[in-house]
Amino acid sequence: MLFTIFAILTVVGAVAAMSLRNLVHSVLALTLAFAGLAVVYLQLGAQFIGFAQILVYVGAVAILIVFAILLTREAAATPRSILVGSWKGSGVVVLAVFGILAWAIHHSAAYRKAMPPQPEATMQQIGNALMLRFALPLEIVGLLLTAALIGAVTIALQDKQETR
Partner 1 sequence: MTSLASCLLLSALLFAIGLAGALMRRNAILVLIGIELMLNAANLNFIAFWRYGPNPEALTGMIFVIFSIGVAAAEAAVGLALIISLYRHTRTANMDEVNSMRG
Task: Look at residues 59, 2, 10, 8 and name the one whose alpha carbon lies nearest to residue 32.
Answer: 10
Q: State how far the Cα of 162 lies from the Cα of 96, in Å rounded to an integer.
A: 45
What is the footprint of partner 1 within residues 86-145 (CB under 8 A)? 87, 90-91, 93-95, 97-98, 101-102, 105-106, 108, 110-111, 113, 115-116, 119-121, 125-126, 129-130, 134, 137-138, 141, 144-145
The nearest distance, CB 123 to partner 1, in angstroms, is: 11
The nearest distance, CB 128 to partner 1, in angstroms, is: 9
Q: Which residues, other chains included, contact 90 with Cβ-Cβ below 8 Å and sequence gap of 6+?
A: 84
139 CA to centre of own chain:
23
What is the footprint of partner 1 within residues 68-97 (CB under 8 A)? 68-69, 71-72, 74-75, 78, 81-85, 87, 90-91, 93-95, 97
CB 61 within 8 A of CB 31: no
Size of the site for partner 1 (CB under 8 A): 87
Task: Look at residues 46, 2, 47, 53 and name the one whose alpha carbon lies nearest to residue 32.
Answer: 53
The nearest distance, CB 142 to partner 1, in angstroms, is: 8
What is the footprint of partner 1 within residues 5-34 (CB under 8 A)? 7, 10-11, 14-15, 17-18, 23, 26-27, 30, 33-34
